[in-house]
Chain A
Amino acid sequence: MTDLHLWLIPIIPFAGFLVNGLVGRKFPKALVTTVALIASVIPLVQVATIVAKFSSLTLPHIENLGVWIRAGAFHADFSFQLDQLTLVMLCVITGVGFLIHVYSVGYMAEEEGYWRFFAYMNLFLFFMLTLVLAENFLLMFVGWEGVGLASYLLIGFYYTRDSAANAGKKAFIVNRIGDFGFLIAMFLLVQHFGTLSFTEVFGYVAAHPALQGGFLTAIALFLVLGATGKSAQIPLYVWLPDAMEGPTPVSALIHAATMVTAGVYMVARTHVIFDRSPFALVVVAIIGTATAFFAATIGMAQTDIKRVLAYSTVSQLGYMFLGCGVAAYSAGIFHLVTHAFFKALLFLAAGSVIHALSGEQDMRVMGGLRKKIPVTFWTMTAAVFAISGFPPLAGFVSKDEILYQAFISPNGGKILWAVGLLTAGLTAFYMFRLWYMTFFGEYRAAHRDELAEHGAAVHARSDTKLAVEADPHSGHGHGIHESPWVMLVPLVILAILSVIGGWMGWPDGLGGSNWFAHFLAPAVKSAHLTYEQATVALATGGSNMPNESPAGSKQLELVLAVVSTLVALAGWLVAHVIYYAKPELPAKMATQLRALYALIKNKYWVDEFYGAVVVAPVLFIARYLLGALIDRGVIDGGTLAAGYTAQGFGALVARIQSGNIRSYAGWLALFAAVLLVAAYFGWTAHFLPR
């Protein structure tokens, strides 16, 4: 078996982290850049060579570097695996990751913490690559936790800002709740299977077709809890909008393309367990659909450009979950890939806009930028059309695949499809809203003061040093200008990918061959198998399993595709009317639908709800019960009491030391007598050696 040195893929970024992290502070900026870019391009090159060699490999390709934990019959190894799913994730992570690194060279050029930023980005790459390359749950968990850590570090990058520090903490803590679920799932796995290795667990489950539901459902549900934390689904999505405090490249890489997709990857990876638990799959599908719709509604009323994109990410992740929930794992992963392209592009382009406006992030004071920053405009346009689901762009193909699979799945799939379709319309609406508000109309910076007078919180959400220095009233810093080429090239590349990226998964129903699904099938097979089908398939060697349940058909796919395109067009039209043709309409609608508008503008007050119901009691318990009562009272009190007792006893005994010879003599005499009596009565016999 060829040795692909899979361990090198994560280690090189880790080396980059060490170099930049430990001594980067003293390096000139060019050196930091070189180290960081090299550390992120070498994995890309290595992945490319693997792609070239891929057809000649036996899959899954596993490389074991040695035993990590051995405890009785249980052992966990440092082992990496490579199969189609891993390869897809690797391509996304290294490819998009490298592009974002290049972009950051331009975006973060004026930052003092330049070296720190790239060190953390490389650290993130290391953990994310470990996550997808891991062959057992424990190593995956290392990566899982590690990306949470890197996310915390990067969200709180501007650590002097309170809001950024709080956002970092919030992200980490909410993630932790999910990680707790992941841990419980691992414990259950060890309890039932005695191992955490993917090959062993999945092999065992596959070999026992009668194994259904029961503890497998429990494991799956706990894994889902972990996934909702990491992938920002209901109920643990609240950290993602706050995570926009971090620099924009961070939002692009971590909170759009890679870290948040870890949950989806995990569900796809452990699909063997999920397939045996229809209940868990239904839970996943419902959570995904609900989140998609919910987040889309909130995104409609946000005014910060990054917030809109954040809620959009939550919503699109919901689609991926929906895909996995109807056991169409390849569809979910496909949407993951295309989403990486256009969402990263959206964030990077938004960053370009923010950079051009010297730190302004509020869309209400943007407008008319399309002539001033044309490249940004056109690339963002590509992304907006892609995400809204217009054929033949990438978003259309993947989203449609998911909706189609949802429609044909049993157990209420049509309801899921309907909600998903509605959400697609909302997606188109808010994305075009963003598009119009940012690039069309007149430049509204002059209105900033007016808006401030009306009590709206308009302020330059400064996330670059430029904005801190620039006085918002004195002009535009150094003018509205296009970003440097080092920022534009990644935008263009991603735009091209957003357009053509979907073509590798062009569905059968519309004349394609769906290469992507077939490629990924061996890794995520048993898309719609029922228990009986699984038995039959296993009995016949499992090589010819259907990729869709018998209820589907090519005509249905075509019809559904047309319907979703029409819905997207409708969304565009509504946005056009409200935000372009009749610009006074939004304000009027806001006042007329005051209650509804307030509901979505305030994000359904979920954060406040969590604050009151979860955070406040926990803080109370921590501060008063555990803090004052137990920590100070019992523990401190106990040790102090021990100290006082010793002191008191010591003081008592010290009174013997009076300095007076006669009292010493008295004590001597007394105890000599005691000793003598003890000797006489044989008590000392107990102490003599036998």
Chain B
Amino acid sequence: MVPIAYYLVLSAILFSIGVAAFLIKRNIISIFMSIELMLNAVNLTFVAFTRRWSQITGHLQVSGQIFVFFVMVVAAAEAAVGLAIIIAIFRARNTLNVDQVDLMKL
């Protein structure tokens, strides 16, 4: 028996680590991976809350897990396209260092 709150705390920790990684890392692929980490943390939250909601209403609820399903699909698509973009950027700028891709500066 684990309090659901623990799951939520775990998810919060994972999310924060993801944010920290995003801020620290300089390689664009690393940053992308930290985004995936954040997504996963959120997925965990959804699943935990599905269980809680089922408990509250008394019968089986699936909505949270459906949501996770769709998040996974979208994450997959996004990963594919994102990595393609990274490849394109690499071809153009020959670097994966995100600090050197700052042409949008005002």
Contacts and interface: CB of A to CB of B under 8 A. Distances in A.
A–B interface present (Cβ within 8 A): yes
A665 B106 contact: no
A654 interface: yes
A661 B31 contact: yes
Interface stretch (B41-49, B65-73, B97-105): B97-105
A662 B105 contact: no
Interface in B46-104: 98-99, 101-104
B19 A660 contact: no
A669 B17 CA distance: 12
Contacts of A666: 23
Interface string A51-80: 000000000000000000000000000000
A662 B104 CA distance: 13
B105 A658 contact: yes
Interface of B: 19, 22-23, 26, 31, 98-99, 101-106
Nearest to B31: A661
A682 interface: no
Contact of A669 (B23, B26, B102, B104): B23
A669 B22 CA distance: 10
Contacts of B101: 659, 661
Contacts of B23: 662, 665-666, 669
A191 interface: no
Contacts of A160: none
Contacts of B103: 659
A113 B41 CA distance: 89
A658 B99 CA distance: 10
Given A660-B98, A660-B99, A661-B31, A669 B19 contact: yes
Contacts of B98: 660-662
Nearest to A672: B19
Given A658-B102, A660-B98, A665-B22, 13 more contacts: A654-B106, A655-B106, A657-B104, A658-B106, A659-B103, A659-B104, A659-B105, A660-B105, A662-B22, A662-B26, A662-B31, A665-B23, A669-B23
9 shortest interchain CB distances as A-B pairs? A659-B105, A659-B102, A657-B106, A659-B104, A654-B106, A660-B102, A665-B22, A661-B98, A669-B19
B23 to A, nearest CB: 6
Nearest to A661: B98
A665 B38 CA distance: 13
Contacts of B106: 654-655, 657-659
B8 to A, nearest CB: 14
Contacts of A654: 106
A665 B30 CA distance: 14
A70 B55 CA distance: 76
A658 B103 CA distance: 9
A185 B99 CA distance: 77
A10 to B, nearest CB: 65
A231 to B, nearest CB: 69
A274 B33 CA distance: 98
Contact of A657 (B31, B99, B105): B105
Interface string A654-681: 1101111110011001000000000000
A658 B19 CA distance: 19
A657 B31 CA distance: 19
A662 B99 contact: yes
A675 to B, nearest CB: 14
A101 to B, nearest CB: 71
Nearest to A651: B106
A666 B102 CA distance: 15
Contacts of A661: 31, 98, 101
A660 B31 CA distance: 13
Contacts of B31: 661-662
A662 B20 CA distance: 10
A190 B98 CA distance: 77
A669 B99 CA distance: 18
Interface string A636-658: 00000000000000000011011
Interface string A386-415: 000000000000000000000000000000
Contacts of B99: 660, 662
A373 to B, nearest CB: 84
Contacts of B22: 662, 665
A668 to B, nearest CB: 9
Nearest to B20: A669
B106 to A, nearest CB: 4
Nearest to B22: A665
A666 B104 CA distance: 17
Contacts of A655: 106
A658 B100 CA distance: 11
26 contacts: A654-B106, A655-B106, A657-B105, A657-B106, A658-B102, A658-B105, A658-B106, A659-B101, A659-B103, A659-B106, A660-B98, A660-B99, A660-B105, A661-B98, A661-B101, A662-B22, A662-B23, A662-B26, A662-B31, A662-B98, A662-B99, A665-B19, A665-B23, A666-B23, A669-B19, A669-B23
| Residue of A654, A660, A666 with most chain B CB atoms under a 10 A cut-off | A660
A659 B104 CA distance: 5
Contacts of B104: 657, 659
Contacts of A669: 19, 23
Nearest to A650: B106
Interface in A348-388: none
A283 to B, nearest CB: 73
Contacts of A659: 101-106
A669 B34 CA distance: 14
A665 B103 CA distance: 17
